[in-house]
Structure 1
Amino acid sequence: MAQDFRLPDLGEGLPEAELVQWLVAEGDTVALNQTIAEVETAKAVVELPSPHAGTVTKLHAAAGDVITVGSVLISFDTGEADAAAPAAAAPQAAMAAAAAPQPAATPAQGSAQTQPDGETTAAEPNLVGYGAAPRNGDRPKRRARSAGKRAVASDTAVLEAAPHDAIQFGDIADRPIERPRSTPPVRKLAKQLGVDLALVEATGATGIITRADVEAYAARVGAAGASAVATPAAARPELSEDRVTHTPIRGVRRATAEAMVRSAFTAPHVTTFLTVDVTATSELLASLKADRSLQDHRIGILAVAAKAVCLSLARHPELNSRWDDDAGEIVEHHYVNLGIAAATGRGLVVPNIPDAHELTLVELADAIRSLAETARAGKTTPADMRGGTFSITNVGVFGVDAGTPIINPGEAGILALGAVRRQPWEHRGEIALRDVMTLALSFDHRLVDGEQGSRFLAEIADILREPGRAMLLR
């Protein structure tokens, strides 16, 4: 029995994904739930399990292809039909319904639909993993500029790096325009075709401009091929292929860039620095390392700093809050989901440790180790990176003394740890060799005043200077 498997919605409502690699080939026999491919969204690399047991008859895409949700990805021959066939066919039927074109106005999920003859029928339910539920067909209204005002030229490089919901501004007296909703590949295609996305109307129920919308518009106005955005490398000897390397901006790298631009141009960043003597913490870590009962745990300066952050956030809730522009309010968190910045081959990711404030020092060290190993293996999921309330980045592992970290979007602050260096330092009225490191705290000045940020950083420094002080905190 022939079965097609279509690319499902991977849980983020993203309309497409890039095929990283196939883990099976045509003619292979696969088992149910065997991993058949890896795909990369703008959030993370995701493994796709096989929904069928049988033989692979056709692979419908190659590594590097960008595939839209609902497109056929792979075909199987499951052999003779059996009792499980109807059950397996059900989600595929739901997928076909979800992928089919929707009318301009779609009722809310689960609501009834009125037919031309006046009768009502129940809407098809959205099945998790088989297509995103259609949204209300009414597209968000854009706000127009005031009549007669002259638009100021925008920084196109910033706009290209900005997320799809970035705001573009004209004169000071102008009202802002909401950037058309699309995805990075679609914006790239529009640029190549010389199409202004503000003039393109989305045909789907979600209100997101797709490749088909851009191509159809270009065909109507004859824009395709009318404006080449770059001269081919072959025509420019100084930029020939043997002198440069072209790497597509996509996946985790693009998502990171968009998040950083959104943060830098939304939250007013302030960074404060403090250099601290951490000799006592170094001695504590050395004693823990020598403890045989803790040999299976790697407790380092990052774990101690994480514990210090969790303790200090309880007394400085401004650093553990979120600015909600839509609701016009400040949301204060009474828990700590601690983000740990991790460098990977695909770019920077910031997964978080849920309820880190409830963990002991040893448990924090284990959680950080597990998080880092998962990130380096490229297995960090979108869920791992959602809901963070504060973050730490350890630039000291690269031999760097300090930096100005960019706040993770949706958070109020981020702490950067510099390298621990043995150097001359004043200690008890004398000069001695001590372990010294620099802390850098960036915070959102809408949420945190300079005094609050400085007191928070000073308290973390006090704990690292004298870790026994943590015993006095609650």
Structure 2
Amino acid sequence: MSAQEVFRLPDLGEGLTESEVVEWRVAVGDVVTLNQVIAEVETAKAMVELPSPVAGRITALHAEEGDVVQVGEPLVTFTTGDDDGTDDDGVAPVEQPAAGATGADPASAATPSGRSSDLAAPSAASAERAATGRSSAGAASDGAAPNGSSSSSANGTSSSDGAQPNLVGYGARPARAGRATRRPRRPVEMPPDPFGRHRAPAAGRASEGAGRAGAGEMREPVRGVRRHTAAAMVASATIPQATVHLTCDVTDVLDLLDRLRAHPRAAGTRLTVLTLVARAVCGLAPQHPALLTRWVESDDGPELVRTGHVDLGIAVATDRGLVVPHVVEADTLSLVGLGRALADLTATARAGRSTPQSLRPGHLTLTNVGVFGVDAGTPLLNPGETAILGIGQTVRRPWEHDGDVALRRVMTLSLTFDHRVVDGEQGALFLRDLGALLGDPGLALLLGGTDDPPPAPPSPRFDVASPAAVTR
């Protein structure tokens, strides 16, 4: 007994509402096993591999590569059970559409290979029929249910009118409520330009101007990580934030870094300037509790939420855009452990495999703009966080050292903070202490613990009337 099951796009976490199909790993007619990867999708934060929820045969793919699918919309239809819906030769059959069906053409009968002859040898007539079918399908969509539901049953079986599930690549698509659609790529209207740089396409080239505002200008939709980053930056602009800068001498800490790299405990671990700065931040932050406090909006009004650990974010530039994965409770890791965690997060982010959990807002983010050859920058807050620290490049400059002028290696730090949570004094003192620690790494020995000795234990008291107080 066979059955059809519809796999709908699941909630991939963190309130994500849609995903773009990047690559199908299966095709119609393929037999898949439980948890076999069937597709790769891109959310607003990361690339995600979707495993098959059942074992069976692929009956229909409800989206093409590049389509944007909303959470809860049909993605794949499976045939499960004893009858997997295949012929004796193991090829999934393509049923002939009923006479008079929208977009159907008796001449486009399926060949033994499962493809129509029109697909193998397209012609003007077949193109005209496909266009007619799409127009009819679009008109039929006007009769869809208001809530986006179709006449199919909850278990994904075909509707009562006998309509068969659409097979991607086989003729024109029938109308289907809730089907994922590619975002339309429309030309963007440009404002008047007094210099005449942006000119509209000529009348005879209107079709060529789709997706372009003018000669040499290409337009593309904003999706995935880039879209999420843009939304985050717009939200960041609503946060009152301030930035303080400090240039400090890091010659001694860089000499220390060379020695630490040669230590046996650091073998196989890449220790960098970013690692040392991250470890210094984790050591100092508990002494500046405002940096570990978040501004949280609630039904009862805004609240200041403080935690006892440091969730440290790292801004990573990828081919898909900027992502900020986090090391949870980074202050509990040693220098070597933090170096390994940062390396893993960076590699995972650049491969597009960061999990939604690792991309949650933390307390403070580090952005190392110095690797791009700049001295400093003014970073913008990641919404939901309290501060972000920009790290500039290390350069040699004449610097006052021990009462004389010497050529030293210096670095500029830029701290941007949420001014609702952190006062200017608090932000400046944190940056001052961080610069002092990087200038003299021996100060790390003073971090942690308490300066007050524990109270002396109470002395034992004896009751003179008790036998224990009588000496023999």
Q: Which amino acid aligns with 2:77?
A: S
When normalised by structure 1's length, the TM-score is: 0.66
Match of 1:280 in 2: 252
Q: Unaligned regions of 5+ residues in structure 1, if any?
A: 83-201, 205-214, 216-226
Alignment: residue pair count: 335
Residue 400 of structure 1: SS of its match in structure 2?
coil
Q: Cα gap change, 1:203/1:453 in structure 2, threshold over 3 Å: closer, same or farther?
A: farther
Residue 402 of structure 1: SS of its match in structure 2?
coil
Q: Give the alignment of 1:244-263 within 5 angstroms.
A: 244-263=217-236
Of 300-309 and 64-73, deviating more is 64-73
C-alpha distance after superposition, 1:72-110 (max 9, x if no partner): 21223345179xxxxxxxxxxxxxxxxxxxxxxxxxxxx
Among all aligned residue pairs of Structure 1 and Structure 2, give the percentage whose two residues are the same amino acid.
Answer: 52
C-alpha distance after superposition, 1:320-366 (max 9, x if no partner): 11112333221122211101111111111111100011111111100
Q: Cα gap change, 1:229/1:401 in structure 2, threshold over 3 Å: closer, same or farther?
A: closer
Match of 1:360 in 2: 334
When normalised by structure 2's length, the TM-score is: 0.66
CA distance in structure 2 between the partners assigned to 1:363 and 1:44 by the alignment: 25
More helix by share: 1
1:268 paired with 2:240, answer yes
Correspondence for 1:230 among 170, 176, 189: 189
CA distance in structure 1 between the partners assigned to 2:39 and 2:310 by the alignment: 35
Q: Give the alignment of 1:117-136 within 5 angstroms.
A: none
Match of 1:379 in 2: 353
1:398 paired with 2:400, answer no
Residue 282 of structure 2: SS of its match in structure 1?
helix
- Is this contact kept in 1: 2:38–2:52, CA < 8 A? yes
1:328 paired with 2:302, answer yes
- Is this contact kept in 2: 1:310–1:356, CA < 8 A? yes
Q: Give the alignment of 1:156-235 within 5 angstroms.
A: 230=189, 234-235=205-206
Match of 1:312 in 2: 284
Q: Cα gap change, 1:472/1:229 in structure 2, threshold over 3 Å: closer, same or farther?
A: closer
Q: Unaligned regions of 5+ residues in structure 2, if any?
A: 85-145, 149-176, 178-185, 191-199, 449-472
Aligned alpha-carbon RMSD (Å): 2.8
- Is this contact kept in 2: 1:424–1:431, CA < 8 A? yes
Deviation at 1:64, TM superposition (A): 1.1
CA distance in structure 2 between the partners assigned to 1:12 and 1:380 by the alignment: 13
C-alpha distance after superposition, 1:134-175 (max 9, x if no partner): xxxxxxxxxxxxxxxxxxxxxxxxxxxxxxxxxxxxxxxxxx
- Is this contact kept in 2: 1:271–1:443, CA < 8 A? yes
Q: Cα gap change, 1:294/1:15 in structure 2, threshold over 3 Å: closer, same or farther?
A: closer
Residue 42 of structure 1: SS of its match in structure 2?
coil
Residue 345 of structure 2: SS of its match in structure 1?
helix
Q: Which amino acid aligns with 1:384?
A: S
CA distance in structure 1 between the partners assigned to 2:80 and 2:187 by the alignment: 48
CA distance in structure 1 between the partners assigned to 2:374 and 2:28 by the alignment: 49
Residue 367 of structure 1: SS of its match in structure 2?
helix
Q: Which has the larger Rg?
A: 2
1:459 paired with 2:407, answer no
Q: Which amino acid aligns with 1:359?
A: L
Write out the 4+ residue segments of structure 1 that deviate beyond 4 Å after TM superposition. 231-242
Match of 1:300 in 2: 272
CA distance in structure 2 between the partners assigned to 1:307 and 1:7 by the alignment: 40
CA distance in structure 1 between the partners assigned to 2:330 and 2:213 by the alignment: 51
Q: Which amino acid aligns with 1:247?
A: E
CA distance in structure 1 between the partners assigned to 2:15 and 2:359 by the alignment: 16
Residue 358 of structure 2: SS of its match in structure 1?
helix
Residue 373 of structure 1: SS of its match in structure 2?
helix
Q: Cα gap change, 1:346/1:228 in structure 2, threshold over 3 Å: closer, same or farther?
A: closer
Deviation at 1:242, TM superposition (A): 5.9
